[in-house]
């Protein structure tokens, strides 16, 4: 096991009827900016509940944060927060809204061009504190310090993180996910699954706790993900999936073990250029990525085959084949396609995707930092 430092200060309030506790989590004298996405939180009554919980606070609202949040929208929220002298942010929504809120939190006090936070890795010296009310379990952003932001004008989708960008608290009420459409439920399952894979399916590090924890998360997603599509208001299913998505990317299973993230980097370019949902891009890339890199991932692929998919018969190569195919079938069973053709993206799109990777410096990816542009090209071709 590698050396590691694990730190996660986010306070989790999990379960039903936790929204009224909001007032105790926010400084009494703070001017609060509520951030959210589309109109669903108003239609479902969540926004009204939040406002009721914040009775007595000075509250400003900013809606319209997109899936794959854009710099162009978020900078409007930054300007509003500065004008209104906001001292606390409250994100109400899924991972995209939370990611966007992290950028807003860092950008409000930032002295220079806020885009430099992403494009130049400019130093973040302070951030406005924030909390979250999760309505769409998927990204784990409610309990980590990272975010991914898109700039439409330049087709850039870039990640950043900072210790100041952990939420102060996150309210996780599984009933808030009852009204999600099937596509978002499926996307959430795929997203969490690939988050686990990026931290687990690398090479052995004799990290038994992390491996077993990761395998348990994967097994829960495989068992409960398809059921949730059939029973969207089953509390037990929703609760387990919400907590899995949070635990998949709160730093715990990735501590002390090698991390990959190449699938995410290739997926980001698909989203930036072609507008795929984040989870759709991951479902397309992961099976092809595992096939192309089966040699360097051999030992963990065999472990994954045995412990997650219960594949113990046949020779090694056959079991790896089956494990990759089971992964693909799982995504497809959730109605998330695993080939670019399903999204009307042909092989003629690959050169532009490769150009994007090169422009963003994504030329030495993976747990060994040796996965080259040519490898990425093979993945895109195999995923076509």
384 has pLDDT over 90: yes
Residues 189 and 110 occupy one common structural domain: no
Residues 288 and 315 occupy one common structural domain: yes
What does the alpha-carbon distance between residue 69 and residue 96 come to, in Å, rounded to a whole number?
A: 6
105: nearest Cα among 22, 33, 26, 13: 33
Secondary structure class of 17 (helix, strand, coil): coil
Q: Write down which residue in 159, 177, 195 finishes a domain.
A: 177
Global confidence as pTM:
0.96
Calculate the dihedral angle through the C-alpha atoms of 27, 32, 38, 39, rounding to the nearest 10 degrees.
Answer: 90
Backbone angles phi, psi at 309, to 5 degrees: -105, 0
Per-residue confidence (pLDDT) for residue 40, from 0 to 100: 87
CATH code where residue 301 lies:
1.20.1090.10
Per-residue model confidence as pLDDT tens digits over 95-133: 999 999 999 999 999 999 999 999 999 999 999 999 999
What does the alpha-carbon distance between residue 140 and residue 233 come to, in Å, rounded to a whole number?
A: 21
Cα–Cα separations (whole angstroms), residue 271 to 98, 190, 199, 275: 18, 15, 22, 4
Residues 6+ apart with CB under 8 A from 183: 277, 335
Q: Would you say residue 188 lies in a domain? A: yes
Domain extent, residue 120, equals 11-177
64 has pLDDT over 90: yes
Cα atoms in the Cβ-side hemisphere of radius 13 Å centred on 187:
19
* Structure tokens, 265: 């980097």
Count of domains in the chain? 2
55 has pLDDT over 90: yes
Residues 85 and 189 occupy one common structural domain: no
Per-residue confidence (pLDDT) for residue 158, from 0 to 100: 93
Q: Would you say residue 129 lies in a domain? A: yes
371: nearest Cα among 232, 224, 202: 202
């Amino acid at each position: 096991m590698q050396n590691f430092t694990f730190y996660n200060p986010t306070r989790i309030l999990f379960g039903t009827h936790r929204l009224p506790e909001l007032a105790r989590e926010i400084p009494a004298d703070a001017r609060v900016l509520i951030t959210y996405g589309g109109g669903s939180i108003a239609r479902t009554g969540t926004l009204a509940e939040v406002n009721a919980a914040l009775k007595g606070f000075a509250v400003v609202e900013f809606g319209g944060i997109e899936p794959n949040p854009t710099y162009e929208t978020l900078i409007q929220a930054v300007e509003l927060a500065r004008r209104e002298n906001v001292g606390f942010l409250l994100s109400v929504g899924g991972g995209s809204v939370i990611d966007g809120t992290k950028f807003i939190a860092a950008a409000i006090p930032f002295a220079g061009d806020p885009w430099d936070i992403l494009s130049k890795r400019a130093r973040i010296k302070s951030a406005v504190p924030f909390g979250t009310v999760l309505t769409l379990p998927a990204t784990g952003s409610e309990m980590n310090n990272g975010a991914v932001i898109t700039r439409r004008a330049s087709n850039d989708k870039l990640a950043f993180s900072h210790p100041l960008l952990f939420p102060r608290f996150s309210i996780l009420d599984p009933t808030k996910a009852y009204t999600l459409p099937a596509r978002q439920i499926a996307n959430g399952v795929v997203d969490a699954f690939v988050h686990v894979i990026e931290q687990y399916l690398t090479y052995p590090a004799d990290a038994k706790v992390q491996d077993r924890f990761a395998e348990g998360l994967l097994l829960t997603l495989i068992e409960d993900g398809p059921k949730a599509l059939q029973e969207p208001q089953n509390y037990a299913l929703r609760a387990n999936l919400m907590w899995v998505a949070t635990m998949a990317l709160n730093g715990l299973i990735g501590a002390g073990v090698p991390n990959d993230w190449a699938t995410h980097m290739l997926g980001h370019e698909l989203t930036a250029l072609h507008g795929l949902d984040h989870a759709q891009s991951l479902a397309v890339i992961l099976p092809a990525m595992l096939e192309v890199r089966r040699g360097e991932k051999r030992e963990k692929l065999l472990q994954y085959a045995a412990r997650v998919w219960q594949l113990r018969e046949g020779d090694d190569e056959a079991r790896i084949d089956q494990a990759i195919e089971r992964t693909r079938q799982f995504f497809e069973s959730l109605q998330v396609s695993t080939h670019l053709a399903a999204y009307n993206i042909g092989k003629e799109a690959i050169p532009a995707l490769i150009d994007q990777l090169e422009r963003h410096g994504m030329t030495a990816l993976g747990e060994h930092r040796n996965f080259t542009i040519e490898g990425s090209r093979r993945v895109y071709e195999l995923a076509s």
